[in-house]
Amino acid sequence: MASDTPEFYSTSALVQLADVGRTYLDGKVVALSHVSLSIARSEFLAITGRSGCGKSTLLHILGGLDRPTSGEVWLEGNPLSQVTDLDRWRSEKVGFVFQTYYLLPNLTAEENVQLPMFGRGKTDRERVARARELLSLVGLADRGTHLPWQLSAGQRQRVAIARALVNQPSLLLADEPTGSLDSRSGHEVLELIQQCRDAMQMAVVMVTHDDGLAQRAQRMITLSDGQIVGDRRTAVADKMDNL
């Protein structure tokens, strides 16, 4: 753990935010204000709130896609402000799943999954084996040679999930992962994310405007005007405690 980690940092926490703020346009637009949050290892956390409340900004800061204007973020006890190569840090620590899949249209499912492994010292054989392993995990073992346009929306999101998991992240960030799917496909994708979380023992943070989806997480954070106004355990967490 880093020497400048604060005394309040919990060893059970994977991620800790302390008094994080994010402003734009020289402070005229406040996206986040005084956000303090602890996320446990293997926790499934949902972030909810109205459009424009700061949900995506918070997710971007958690994943190193943006830096806070004030405050600090720690992952595994290491301050994000001291990370100089955020691209490498993200590739090693964080997986991303978005509402839009960001698959390269001219690459097969298998090739899209391999992309994060390039530059990581993997051989061609290792990349192919890992991609096939993950496509099997997400139920697409027979779709590896298909191009994105040959897959359904739900299948494309499954490929995106496999790609997000390829480097075994400790934190998976999902921004409206079912937003482009019908209810059945959305249910299946959320089930898959939960199964992958259990199998890989990673934390999942999901942004959603759907209260029904949020209720399937262990914990719900509600944002309003860039601040946390609600933080509660769900029935799922209570059920797990009673197992």
Q: Where are the domains of the chain?
A: 42-52+85-241
55, 89, 22, 62: CA torsion to nearest 10: 30
Task: For residue range 86-144, list pLDDT tens digits in order.
Answer: 988 998 899 999 999 999 999 999 999 999 998 888 899 999 999 999 999 999 999 99
Question: Could you tell me how many residues make up the chain?
Answer: 243
- What was the pLDDT predicted at 210? 86
Q: Is the pLDDT of residue 6 over 60?
A: no
Q: Of the candidates 189, 198, 230, 237, which has an alpha carbon nearest to the alpha carbon of residue 215?
A: 237
Q: What does the alpha-carbon distance between residue 173 and residue 123 come to, in Å, rounded to a whole number?
A: 27
221 band by pLDDT with thresholds 50, 70 and 90: very high
Q: What does the alpha-carbon distance between residue 95 and residue 164 come to, in Å, rounded to a whole number?
A: 4
Q: What does the alpha-carbon distance between residue 117 and residue 82 come to, in Å, rounded to a whole number?
A: 24
Would you state the structure tokens that stand for residue 208, as one six-digit string? Answer: 């959603």
Do 229 and 223 meet the contact criterion of CB atoms below 8 Å apart?
yes
Sort 145 into a burial class: Cβ within 10 Å, 0-12 / 13-18 / 19+. exposed
Return the bridge partners of 243, or none.
none
Amino acid letter, residue 79? P
Instruction: Classify domain 42-52+85-241 by CATH number.
Output: 3.40.50.300
Task: State the Cα angle at 99 between 33 and 126, rounded to 5°.
Answer: 110
Would you state the structure tokens that stand for residue 143, as one six-digit string? Answer: 């779709």
Neighbours of 230 (CB within 10 A): 11
Q: Is the pLDDT of residue 2 over 80?
A: no
Average of per-residue pLDDT across 204-224: 93
Higher-confidence residue of 243 and 127: namely 127
Q: Is the pLDDT of residue 3 over 60?
A: no
Task: For residue range 172-213, list pLDDT tens digits in order.
Answer: 999 999 998 988 898 899 999 999 999 899 999 999 988 888
Q: Of the candidates 20, 167, 43, 185, which has an alpha carbon nearest to the alpha carbon of residue 101?
A: 185
Q: What does the alpha-carbon distance between residue 185 and residue 142 come to, in Å, rounded to a whole number?
A: 18
Q: Quote the pTM value.
A: 0.89
Q: Is the pLDDT of residue 8 over 80?
A: no
Average of per-residue pLDDT across 164-179: 94
Would you state the structure tokens that stand for residue 85, as one six-digit string? Answer: 């190569």
- What was the pLDDT predicted at 81? 93
Q: Is the pLDDT of residue 239 over 80?
A: no
Higher-confidence residue of 2 and 122: namely 122
Mean pLDDT check: name the lowest of 3-17, 105-119, 166-180, 214-228.
3-17
Return the bridge partners of 78, or none.
75
Task: For residue range 17-64, list pLDDT tens digits in order.
Answer: 999 999 998 888 999 999 999 999 999 999 999 999 999 999 999 999
